[in-house]
Homo-oligomer: A and B are copies of this chain.
């Protein structure tokens, strides 16, 4: 396939590469999940470090203890939004959040 055609197809939204590109979708999904798990671990780590219970954090977030528990457990039903809000709520800096995100890749390499 020539480069122009490839580019045109890609602009139309088609994946034109190898099987690895198809698997790429799964790979992206897996990276996304690892990222969420890393942030979930971060929430627990910082919450405990701050001496807060799940209930206390939940109140700060105007959420509930069960949601915090699910969050820390990496439950599928928990959004990235809530994870990041939680990290900000327990005092994480952007740099710390960034660090956990990078850590997600390390987990994948293992």
Contact = CB atoms under 8 A, between A and B. Distances in A.
Copies of this chain present:
2
A10 B58 CA distance: 11
Given A52-B10, A81-B80, A32 B101 contact: no
Contact of A94 (B13, B58, B60, B101): B101
A19 interface: no
Interface residues of A, number: 37
Nearest to A31: B88
A43 interface: no
Interface of A: 7, 10-15, 28, 31-32, 35, 51-53, 55-60, 79-81, 84-85, 88-89, 93-95, 97-99, 101-102, 104-105
